[in-house]
């Protein structure tokens, strides 16, 4: 019951299966710290497609790779980031399979006051880093992300959290994806959360037949082999619309066209029977007709399997076509989020407006407008608006105040923008002040201990 109250449902659909909170992923290169993803939060629900759109370098793929557990050195997900996979069946299965990695948070209740954890030396969070004003609103699960689990006395290896029921018989809970490793990680990646990349050849091995690659996925994730696996592989190829599947199952990737290869990759992703499908520009390399067919296919599969889809593209036309909700990314941050209709009917962030004007046929003149300049590399903490140098509406404050996510109108919580002009029903000076206050209290949380300081003489 408390669940319905706690989680705002932004689409009118079911509870989210993925919740990303304050995700920060940085690359520590010799030269600089690149804050590729810098404080990103969003949800994905079953049966829903969440679009992530933005120009090249805005952090879309790093967001996807963070969810997939594919960030490698010199990259790292920073302390305080949380990615929760909420699926009662998985929690039950994992609690049984990985009992030593399972923590019953209900055991902590009573002797752990979540509000007191803000004073813990290892915790650099403030209530506003979790989206609250009042510390009393915090829950133990807010603290289970990277790093903060240690403050709860939870082992580094623990990743399954029971929030209702018990260790032996969990009713509800979540898997904290940022804490996964080893076998539990392999069971989630590819098994529960599958990914389709732009280039199908990165997922297909040229020396094995398409059928054998699907069968390998079936063996790993569904424990199928032999004739059963062959039959299932053929079924999957048929399900993704590959004609003459019985013959083609024995062919090699090079014998497939680009569109057919991408269908085969989708079949391979489905072989794991995932709940979540992350698509990173899956149609960018394909011609328009084939692209439309693949998008139709994804829609069909979504309905059949109640898939939660995260769809990445830099193409506003594609995003309009596939998404229920859209997150617009710029230089590591989500600058606007809304349902697809309000986003396209009334885009608020100047960056979103710029992206929309660059769609052919949408602007009044006959020339295609593009936003001048490129996405800056986010190599320092944002203490200003990263879009300001390119923004037609920038004013002086934009260079000194970092805009945080705010409702575009007071009360319209599901349409938000990180721009000093919002909420638009407030005088701008007042809005600016609100951004500055919120940013200050979030910044109070920025950890000096997580090693993400740029090199320089700031240390004492
Ligand atoms: N392995 C890495 N090492 C250093 N920097 C990286 C690494 N991977 C990504 N980055 C940087 O992170 C930032 C975000 O990159 P990302 O690939 O997420 O962008 P994107 O939005 O997916 O762009 P595109 O549309 O080109 O795919 C960029 O500045 C990029 O240079
Ligand atoms: Ni990318």
The yes-or-no verdict on residue 187 having pLDDT over 60 is yes
Question: Does the structure show a pLDDT above 80 at 109?
Answer: no
Q: Distance, CA 83 to ligand 1 centroid (Å)?
A: 19
Cα separations in angstroms, 337 against 131, 340, 361, 389: 16, 9, 23, 21
Neighbour-count burial for 119-134, b at 16+ CB within 10 Å, e otherwise: eeeebbbbbbbbeeee
Distance of CA 300 to the CA centre of its chain: 22
> For residue range 248-307, what is the model confidence (pLDDT) as tens digits?
999 999 999 999 999 999 999 999 899 999 999 999 888 899 999 999 999 999 999 999
Mean pLDDT of 439-443: 79
Give the distance (Å) from ligand 1 centre to CA of residue 201: 20
Closest ligand to Cα 57: 1
How many CA within 13 A on the CB side of residue 392?
11
Higher pLDDT, 355 or 110: 355
pLDDT of residue 366: 55
Distance of CA 173 to the CA centre of its chain: 19
Residue 115 region, left (φ>0) first, then alpha (ψ -120 to 50), else beta?
alpha
pLDDT computed for residue 63 by the predictor: 98
Positive/negative CA dihedral, 110, 43, 83, 175: positive
- Residue 166 domain flag: yes
- The distance from CA 454 to its chain's CA centroid, rounded to whole angstroms, is 25
Give the global pTM: 0.91
φ, ψ (nearest 5 deg) of residue 110: 95, -60
110: left (phi over 0), alpha (psi -120 to 50) or beta: left
Q: Whose CA is nearest to atom 25 of ligand 1?
A: 56
Is residue 271 in a domain? no
Look at residue 156 and tell me if it is in a domain. Answer: yes
Smallest CA separation from ligand 1 atom 28, residue: 57
59 C-alpha vs ligand 1 centroid, how far in Å?
A: 6
CA distance 123 to 129: 11
Q: How many residues are listed for the chain in this entry?
A: 460
CA 313 to ligand 2 center in whole angstroms: 8
355 CA from centroid of ligand 1 (Å): 19
Q: Whose CA is nearest to atom 16 of ligand 1?
A: 59
Q: Which residues line ligand 1 (CB under 6 A)?
A: 27, 29, 34, 36, 54, 56-62, 75, 314, 377
Rounded mean pLDDT of 220-235?
93
Atom of ligand 1 lying closest to residue 329 CA: 21
Q: What is the pLDDT of residue 402?
A: 97
- Taken in order 148, 153, 155, 160, the sign of the CA dihedral is negative
The pLDDT of residue 74: 97
- Token readout for 357 is 């004007």
Q: Are 200 and 265 in contact (CB under 8 A)?
A: yes
Mean pLDDT of all residues in 193-210: 93
Residue nearest to atom 24 of ligand 1 (CA): 56
61-75, 339-353, 432-446: lowest mean pLDDT where?
432-446
Residue ranges in 280-391 assigned as alpha helix (H): 288-305, 316-322, 340-345, 350-357
Work out whether strand 406-407 and strand 416-417 pair parallel, antiparallel, or are unpaired. Answer: antiparallel
Say yes or no to pLDDT of 8 above 90.
no
Is the Cβ–Cβ distance between 248 and 240 less than 8 Å?
no
pLDDT at 460 over 60: no
User: What pLDDT does 112 receive?
Assistant: 81
Is 11's pLDDT higher than 70?
no
Residue 260 lies in a domain: no
For the cut 70, the answer to whether the pLDDT of residue 405 exceeds it is yes
Atom 6 in ligand 1: which residue has the minimum CA distance? Answer: 27
φ/ψ bin of 54: left (φ > 0), alpha (ψ from -120 to 50), beta (otherwise): left
Domain extent for 141: 88-182
Distance CA 218, CA 227 (A): 12
Specify the residue for token string 């990646």: 189
Q: Which atom of ligand 1 is nearest to the CA of 72?
A: 1
State the closest ligand 1 atom to the C-alpha of 58, by its place in the atom list counted from 1.
21
Query: Domain for residue 387, yes or no?
Result: no
Residue nearest to atom 17 of ligand 1 (CA): 61
Pocket test residue of 36, 58, 328 for ligand 1, highest count of atoms within 8 A of CB: 36
Residues in CB range of 259: below 8 A, 6 or more apart: 286, 290, 293, 294
Average pLDDT estimate for 360-379: 76
For the cut 70, the answer to whether the pLDDT of residue 437 exceeds it is: yes
Confidence of residue 221 (pLDDT cuts 50, 70, 90): confident
- What average pLDDT does this structure show over 405-417? 94
pLDDT (mean) for 128-132? 82
Specify burial of residue 328 (Cβ count, 10 A radius: 0-12, 13-18, 19+). buried
Ligand 1 atom with least separation from CA of 37? 14
Identify whether 104 is part of a domain.
yes
Model confidence pLDDT, tens digit, residues 156-176: 889 999 999 998 999 999 999
Which atom from ligand 1 is nearest to the alpha carbon of 375? 29
**Domain assignment present for 240:** no
The answer to whether residue 355 sits within a structural domain is no
Euclidean distance between CA atoms 218 and 176, whole angstroms = 25
Residue 130 banded pLDDT, cuts 50, 70, 90: confident
Ligand sitting nearest the alpha carbon of 52: 1
**Six-digit token string for 15:** 């509870």
Query: What is the total count of domains within the chain?
Result: 1
Q: Which whole-number Å values give the CA distances from 406 to 147, 275, 421, 427, 445, in the listed order? A: 27, 30, 10, 14, 19
Which protein residue has the closest C-alpha to ligand 1 atom 14? 59
Res. 126 pLDDT band, cuts 50 70 90: confident
Q: How far is the CA of 53 from the centre of ligand 2 (A)?
A: 10
CA of 377 to the centre of ligand 2 (A): 14
Mean pLDDT score of the chain, rounded to an integer? 89
Q: Which ligand is the nearest neighbour of the Cα of 62?
A: 1
> Of 379, 356, 374, nearest to 456 (Cα)?
379
């Amino acid at each position: 019951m408390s669940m319905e109250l706690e989680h705002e449902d932004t689409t009118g659909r079911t509870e989210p299966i993925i919740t990303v909170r304050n995700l920060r992923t940085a690359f520590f290169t010799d030269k600089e710290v690149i804050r590729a993803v810098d404080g990103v939060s969003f949800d994905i629900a079953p049966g829903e497609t969440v679009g992530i759109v933005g120009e090249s370098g805005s952090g879309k793929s790093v967001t996807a790779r963070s969810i997939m557990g594919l960030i490698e050195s010199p990259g790292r997900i920073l302390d305080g980031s949380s990615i929760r996979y909420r699926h009662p069946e998985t929690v039950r299965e994992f609690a049984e399979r990985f009992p030593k990695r399972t923590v019953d948070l209900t055991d902590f209740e009573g002797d752990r006051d979540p509000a007191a954890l803000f004073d813990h030396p290892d915790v650099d969070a403030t209530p506003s880093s979790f989206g609250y004003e009042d510390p009393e609103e915090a829950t133990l699960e807010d603290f289970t992300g990277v790093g903060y689990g240690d403050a709860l006395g939870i082992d580094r290896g623990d990743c399954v959290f029971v929030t209702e029921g018990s260790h032996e018989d969990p009713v509800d809970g979540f898997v904290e994806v940022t804490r996964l490793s080893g076998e539990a990680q392999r069971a989630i990646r590819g098994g529960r959360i599958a990914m389709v990349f732009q280039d199908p050849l990165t997922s297909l091995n040229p020396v094995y037949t398409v059928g054998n690659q699907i069968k390998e996925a079936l063996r790993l994730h569904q424990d199928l082999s032999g004739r059963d696996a062959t039959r299932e592989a053929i079924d999957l190829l048929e399900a993704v619309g590959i004609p003459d599947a019985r013959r083609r199952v024995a062919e090699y990737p090079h014998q497939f066209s680009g569109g057919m290869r991408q269908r085969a990759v989708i079949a391979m992703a489905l072989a794991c029977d995932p709940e979540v499908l992350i698509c990173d520009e899956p149609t960018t390399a394909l011609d328009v007709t084939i692209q439309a067919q693949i998008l139709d296919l994804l829609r069909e599969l979504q309905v059949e399997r109640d898939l939660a889809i995260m769809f990445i593209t830099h193409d506003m036309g594609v995003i309009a076509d596939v998404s229920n909700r859209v997150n617009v990314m710029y230089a590591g941050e989500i600058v606007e989020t809304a349902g697809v209709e309000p986003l396209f009917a009334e885009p608020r962030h100047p960056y979103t407006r710029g992206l929309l004007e660059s769609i052919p046929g949408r602007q009044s003149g006959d020339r295609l407008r593009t936003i001048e300049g490129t996405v800056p590399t986010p190599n320092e903490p944002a203490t200003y608006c990263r879009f300001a140098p390119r923004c037609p509406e920038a004013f002086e404050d934009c260079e000194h105040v970092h805009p945080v996510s705010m409702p575009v109108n007071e009360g319209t919580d599901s349409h938000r923008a990180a721009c000093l002009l919002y909420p638009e029903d407030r005088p701008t000076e007042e809005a600016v002040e609100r951004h500055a206050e919120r940013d200050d209290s979030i910044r109070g949380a920025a950890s000096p201990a997580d090693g993400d300081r740029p090199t320089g003489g700031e240390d004492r």
